[in-house]
A and B are shown apart, each in its own frame.
Chain A
Amino acid sequence: MSLLEIKDLGISFGGLKAVDGVGFEVSEREIVSVIGPNGAGKTTLFNMISGVYRPQRGSVHLDGQEVTGTEPHHLAALGLSRTFQNLQIFQEMSVLDNAVAGFHLRERGSILADMLSLPSVHRRARVARDGAMALLDRVGLADLANEEAGNLSYGRLKRLEIARALAVDPRILLLDEPAAGCNAVETEEIDALIAELAREGVAILLVEHDMKLVMKISNHVIVLDRGRKIAEGPPAEVSRNPEVIAAYLGAEEEDDAHADG
């Protein structure tokens, strides 16, 4: 059975259908990529799956359980976590604390224990800290642990977000353009990390503009255009689909017109 199952998901903003009846499945160890031109509804789709937006139609199932419109913090407890296209870093916290915050669900205790700084708080904090350091090490940020997050470069913040999302110990990880703004070496590293995570059993749902990366690591590709799914299948098959090519050619011209990603 698939870990994440999305059926007929839809939402409109001010009459405009941002996402219109999209459905697909993601299984364990699988890397599924969502691609499409700007404004195709990829991030909106992510926002609905991760509980940031409540879908107006359709449903989301996590491990067979319906979780449509469930609050993100409950989804995190169920093993779904994500990163963001526009970085959502805790800017004024240290790099380490950003990662430790990801351990919240395992670290938290009673408010009274926190107020009185009981030994149990320190015990849990140490575990979270060690876990966070290990994750920072994994994404290559261990030496910057005590730096204020706001001072890091864009590419590093992207990796910090991944570390924070991993701290939740997710069964499924939603990555929204993890390689955007990264140089070739960084992209390579992220690419390797994603593949490794999938091998470890995490299901990955990926939005990415870097076609090379998508084609290389995805098991399955979903193509969105103007809120609708226009194609899906293995990377090689999708890249030959005439409708997909048409959508992208149209989008290339738009991309030239406004230069943002």
Chain B
Amino acid sequence: MSKWLQLAILAALIAALPLLFPSGYYYRIGALVFVNALAVIGLAILIGQAGQISLGHAGFAGIGAYSCALGPEWLGLHPALSLLAGAALSGVTALLIGRPILRLRGYYLAVATLGFGILVAMVIQNERALTGGPDGMAVAELGLRDLLRDLGWRIGGGEFWYAVSGIVLILGAWIALNIFDSPTGRAMRALHGSEVAARTVGIDVASYKLKAFVISAVYASVSGSLLALQNRYITPDVAGFLHSIELVTMTVLGGAGSIMGAVFGAAILTILPQVLTALADYEQLVLGAIMIVVMIFMPQGLLPYISRRLRRTGK
């Protein structure tokens, strides 16, 4: 599928879905899907393109989220600037820890990233004076809605965040698709296929792994920031191990190779718990089962699996 077709489908979905919403509550869920999808697109670049695992990306979401909580509170920074500052901080952190960590492969990389995520969550939990500890903290209003109201455009909170997250998602998808279809994307896929062969054609493997890591960290960070801004409240869970695992599961569930897969995976795993609220206790059980089943029976992900099935029955 071409880049513009994918973006058009995504934009059409985002614009048309509200027509089916029976209540305002659905805007909230939609916005949550988009926010998660954004982080998952980042991981699609890291896992799907460059073939590097991270079990700690919620750490970057945590940095983004708490930047938006702490920036206005302690530095008097505007929430929008706090989002950018958080993204920059995540990018720099990824750059600094990525250089040594990405020398590792497979299990070692998984454990090192897992450790990083846990470390971030630990800092947020422990620095109570700053972050409110496990209880979390309130987040300042973005203020854009007030501005719109002053301009005579009244928009509800749910609709507003649905639109903002949707627009940021399309922007994120556009950048990711650009990367996929560029020398950078090719270099990432090449090192995924064979590191040694990639090196012999002149690809600086370490540098491209690092680029994938930093870019995906920024995506996760922005995702965390948007989550904090729209919920107006944030707890350390955003940086927690379970959130890292959710993001990875979303990535592989839809199919780590594509944007559509990323959005699809994020949508399923975000909506499922909302639909099955009665089964909240089953969330981890289901998450774990999905990870195992998908990896064994459809390692390419659900979306490629379904489309292959459809093609086969079509023939």
Are chains A and B touching directly in their complex (CB below 8 angstroms)? yes
A interface list, Cβ under 8 A from B? 50-52, 71-73, 75-77, 81-82, 84, 88-93, 97, 100-102, 104-105, 107-109, 111, 114-117, 121, 124-125, 128, 161, 164-165, 167-168
For residue A108, which residues in chain B have a CB less than 8 angstroms away from its CB?
183-184, 187
Q: Distance in Å from the Cβ of A72 to the closest Cβ of chain B?
A: 4
B interface list, Cβ under 8 A from A? 175, 178-179, 181-187, 189-190, 192-194, 196-205, 211, 215
Q: Distance in Å from the Cβ of A218 to the closest Cβ of chain B?
A: 23
5 pairs of A and B residues whose beta carbons are closest in the complex: A90-B193, A76-B202, A88-B197, A114-B182, A72-B199
For residue A92, which residues in chain B have a CB less than 8 angstroms away from its CB?
189, 192-193
For residue A73, which residues in chain B have a CB less than 8 angstroms away from its CB?
199-205
Pick from B183, B189, B200: contact of A124, CB under 8 Å: B183
Name the residue of chain B whose CB is nearest to the CB of A99: B201
Pick from A97, A111, A168: contact of B189, CB under 8 Å: A97
Pick from A50, A77, A101, A105: contact of B186, CB under 8 Å: A101
Q: Distance in Å from the Cβ of A152 to the closest Cβ of chain B?
A: 14
Residues A116 and B175 in contact, CB atoms below 8 Å apart? yes
Known contacts A73-B202, A81-B201, A117-B178; A109 and B194 CB within 8 A of each other: no
Other than the given A72-B199, A72-B200, A92-B189, 10 more pairs (CB < 8 A) read A52-B200, A81-B201, A90-B197, A104-B186, A104-B202, A108-B183, A115-B178, A117-B181, A161-B197, A165-B200
22 contacts between A and B (CB under 8 A): A50-B200, A51-B199, A71-B199, A71-B204, A72-B199, A73-B204, A75-B200, A76-B199, A84-B196, A84-B197, A90-B194, A91-B193, A93-B190, A97-B186, A101-B187, A105-B202, A111-B211, A114-B183, A121-B178, A121-B183, A125-B183, A164-B201
Name the residue of chain A whose CB is nearest to the CB of B51: A92
For residue B215, which residues in chain A have a CB less than 8 angstroms away from its CB?
115
Residues A102 and B201 in contact, CB atoms below 8 Å apart? yes
Q: Would you call the interface of chain A mostly helix, strand, loop, or mixed?
A: helix
Residues B175 and A88 in contact, CB atoms below 8 Å apart? no
Residues A111 and B184 in contact, CB atoms below 8 Å apart? yes
Known contacts A73-B202, A115-B175, A168-B202; A89 and B197 CB within 8 A of each other: yes
For residue A102, which residues in chain B have a CB less than 8 angstroms away from its CB?
201
For residue B198, which residues in chain A have a CB less than 8 angstroms away from its CB?
90, 101
For residue A71, which residues in chain B have a CB less than 8 angstroms away from its CB?
199, 204
Residues B184 and A114 in contact, CB atoms below 8 Å apart? yes
Q: How long is the Cα–Cα vector from A118 to B198 in the complex, in angstroms?
A: 24
Q: How long is the Cα–Cα vector from A49 to B287 in the complex, in angstroms?
A: 48
Q: Distance in Å from the Cβ of A27 to the closest Cβ of chain B?
A: 22
